[in-house]
Structure 1
Amino acid sequence: MKLTLGFSPCPNDTFIFDALIHHKIDTEGLDFEVHFDDVETLNQKAVNHELDITKLSFHAFAHVADKYALLDSGSALGFGVGPLLICKDESLLDLETLAAKGKDLRIGIPGKLTTANFLLGIAFPEMQHKEIMVFSEIEDALLEDRIDIGLIIHENRFTYASRGLHKILDLGSHWESLTGCAIPLGGIVISRTLSKEIQLKVNRLIRKSVEFAFANPKSGIDFISSHAQAMDQEVMYKHIDLYVNNYSIDLGKEGRKAIDILFEKAEATGLIPAVPASLYVKPDTV
């Protein structure tokens, strides 16, 4: 049986899925047609229900939870992993100045349905002048004065300072101080049209793929590097270390609690519709 599978070319995703798509583990009769896209494109594909299995932002998941269920393995949650709000103009580092100018500032965001944009809405609801762009273009847009503030994710956390840009606020830390929970960034979802047997099998295979990657961290280096946009290996593995952790193996009760709180806050502020009571695909023993 062949299933369509979407994930980003970012190192955390290619690290997770390398063993699965290259049959370094027993895939139990399943094959995968892989679609590589940036996170906002994956979010939109999920809205259109184009793929059987896909990575997406948790913000986007809330809008498609009637079509997809969340797998227990493959997610990106953690502490100290949140999106950063950055600027070129150092005067914006003063939060009072930032608040005074907030309504007029041009903000580059990596997608409307990204969790990063949701967290921005919690921290700075007055900031509405948003320009959607590919996450890797935000630093250049700041340097070229096309935007005033950038909301960065992924490997840009490790590169912005070397380009003369400045951190205003870590929105992940803001979330952690509000909730005490890990920040849910992205997860792997599977179509509800597939049988429970297939859903559980895919969940099991992704877990095995992550476990293989942890046990053999250099096994997929050529594959990961080939999609890493000329990123040097030190940054590449920092990226992996930041976003792939025990939550990627198994959400567990704490991971699911963090996601539930995210959705509760989003529903309360009107950012998302009400989500189904049953969000998760998890082994019966969990």
Structure 2
Amino acid sequence: MKDPGIYTSRQLTTMLGYTDAEIRSAVASGTLIRLRRGWFAAPIHDARAASAVRDGGILTCVDALRFHGLWVPPGHDGLHLRRSTNLSGKHRGCRPLRGALRSATQAVDPIPQALSCAARCLDPDEWIAVSDSYLNITGKNRGDLRVELDGAGPTVARLIDKTDGRSQSGTESIARVRLRSEGFEVVVQPTVDRVGRCDLRIGLLIIECDSKLYHATRAGYFNDRRRDRRALGDEWLPFRLTYDDVLYGWTESLEDIREITDRERHRARSARKIALVEKSVRQSAR
């Protein structure tokens, strides 16, 4: 587990072997930094976690999820912390939709507690995307997530039902959730002959959701174009969405998708196209 470099006095004594006198000496020498009563930071520590502790809480919600390496949507830059009811600070505290807050024994909440708080701060499709990231990275499934978030309430339970750990990026997750909410039958991570794994498929329409990181590389750029050429050559309809298309321009992106589906260009009508789709279904099931 990633270490934020912030410890309670109990952790310093029981885990790291400090005595009370050694803690006082370390603070005096600058080896430890006192953040607030009973909480200390090493010289190298996570700055946002330290800010949360200084403000009477611990890091949770979006900030904790980001700390743990999960994909987090933009637009949630304020400090996300939770604190005991007997403490106060300048930042508004986060709290779960349902269920009691656990005692703060470490500077950064574990992922399940952070997800519970994030259900209040994130939009539903954003929360699902972050949870997809968690499942994808850890190899866990919906059942595991239900156990870890037991008691988080019916809203969270309904969101868990829409998660899918196969999604490879936050943009893919959000596009999937939004398309399904519009009534589209979306296939996740289909395999297409001569193309390979794709992000999403609606009939013959292959939707690729570019992430900022991978598709900014030269190799990724050329590989994308090669895949698109092969898809077109086999009569698929490649449709590429950028990060900005999904997160900032969804209304226009959806209109463009409907331009194709309203005219039923994505439908497999001929025997050849039906065979293409059937082959993709067989390959994807392997």
With the length of structure 1 as denominator, give the TM-score of the two structures.
Answer: 0.26
The answer to which structure has the higher strand fraction is 1
> Which structure has the larger Rg?
2
With the length of structure 2 as denominator, give the TM-score of the two structures.
Answer: 0.26
Q: Which has the higher contact order (CA 8 A, sep 6+)?
A: 1
